[in-house]
Amino acid sequence: MTGAAPAPAGGGRDLAGRATADPLVRLVAHALEAAHGRPPAAVWSAPYAFRLDSPGLVAAAGWPTAAAAAPRDDGIVRLSSLGHPADSCDLPLTPSGPPPAAPAWAVRPYALLRALARAGVGSGGTDLHVQGSLTAAAGLATAEPADCATALAVADAHGGPGREPDRARLARLLAGALPDGDDALRRAVLFARPGQALRTAPAPAPGQPRYVPFDPAASGTRLVLMAVRGAPGPGAASGNPGLAAEVARAVDRARRAGALNAWQPGRLPGPGVLVLLPAARLTAVRAAVAEDFRGRGRPVPRFLNIAVAGAARREE
């Protein structure tokens, strides 16, 4: 294929057909090949991330976004996502000047690919497919894991065999290219550890641990994401009084049924809220919230179990 650079051996080349691979990883590997006619050179999964109720602490959730990439050498980027099946696009990779017209969903990954190219990463072009396991309706930030998965997959696809992408460098590039993103959540995506929270602000003092234990399951509690659905108006609770009221009502019912704590997972209020509760009260809390919403003719909030996960990783 014209423009397709040789893919490094190994990487994500056979993930699409590997029965033991994560279903999302298999899906993005297959989707890249189906959309662009070639297997990925690299596939990376990146966890969604969230803030704790203690300021300056973040952690990763055990729900991933995945990106598959294959290098090119003709200065073209080809972008696709199953979330936007009718909006795949081929764009010239121009490191400077006005960006080319692109579908709305592709504007952000294209801006990131330009920034990487300016830094000498992937300047020849890339075939890229990105897909998340959650949508924004769940209440966790979707941009940061997609950004990190994209940056890692592209850097890996264009790097030498066995070379690990420089995560600290990529974090700096992401912060510069996408200043509207949540840098604390990006750091959780890139540097999180299972069962621990990462301290991001203020910076740890000399001798102060960068990570602190945060493993609800180990202490007999559960962390769940409660996502309110169907409230009229915009998706952010800060601009939608109806959604904010429904979220507050769901939290109140959860607390009455035994929840220990509840907080917003991101910088701004949204449809999702994290709830910490005793494991023995999980069924009662879900039933109490469901009864209240069903009794008012409202869609029952969705509950997702949240495991405190590790950082983004290469899928091999």
Give the residue from 186, 164, 162, 163 showing the smallest Cα distance to 173.
186
pLDDT at 147: 98
State whether the Cα torsion 76-79-85-86 is positive or negative: negative
User: Whole-angstrom Cα distance, residue 46 to residue 83?
Assistant: 17
- Give me the mean pLDDT over the 4-33 stretch: 77
Is the bond preceding 202 in cis, omega lying within 30 degrees of 0?
A: yes
Task: Tell me the per-residue pLDDT of 68-114, one tens digit each, with 9 for 90 and over.
Answer: 999 999 999 999 999 999 999 999 999 899 999 999 999 999 999 99
Beta pairing, strands 125-132 & 76-80: parallel
Mean pLDDT, the chain, rounded, equals 92
Rg (CA), the chain: 20
- Give me the mean pLDDT over the 52-70 stretch: 96
Sequence-distant (6+) residues with CB within 8 A of 5 are 70, 71, 72, 73, 124
Confidence band for 203, pLDDT divided at 50, 70 and 90: confident
Question: Would you state the torsion angle of the CA atoms of residues 75, 80, 86, 89, taken in this order, to the nearest 10 degrees?
Answer: -10
| pTM, rounded to two decimals | 0.92
What amino acid is encoded at 281 in this protein? R
Give the residue from 28, 80, 46 showing the smallest Cα distance to 170.
46
Task: Tell me the per-residue pLDDT of 127-168, one tens digit each, with 9 for 90 and over.
Answer: 999 999 999 999 999 999 999 999 999 999 999 777 899 999
The residues facing 69 across adjacent strands are: 42, 128
Confidence band for 240, pLDDT divided at 50, 70 and 90: confident
pLDDT at 137: 92
Measured at the CA of 299, the angle between CA 298 and CA 301, to 5 degrees, comes to 120
User: Whole-angstrom Cα distance, residue 59 to residue 311?
Assistant: 9
Confidence band for 8, pLDDT divided at 50, 70 and 90: low
Answer yes or no: are the C-beta atoms of 245 and 233 closer than 8 Å.
no
User: Whole-angstrom Cα distance, residue 142 to residue 272?
Assistant: 12
Q: Among 221-225, 238-242, 287-291, which stretch is predicted with the lowest mean pLDDT?
A: 238-242
User: Whole-angstrom Cα distance, residue 120 to residue 287?
Assistant: 53
User: Whole-angstrom Cα distance, residue 113 to residue 111?
Assistant: 6
- Give me the mean pLDDT over the 235-263 stretch: 88
Confidence band for 193, pLDDT divided at 50, 70 and 90: very high
Residue 237, pLDDT above cutoff 70: no
Q: Among 20-24, 122-126, 145-149, which stretch is predicted with the lowest mean pLDDT?
A: 20-24
Q: Is 195 left (phi over 0), alpha (psi -120 to 50) or beta?
A: left
- Residues recorded for the chain: 316
Q: What percent of the chain is predicted at pLDDT more than 70? A: 93
The residues facing 305 across adjacent strands are: 224
> Residue 40 — φ and ψ, nearest 5°?
-75, 150
Coil, strand or helix at 222: strand
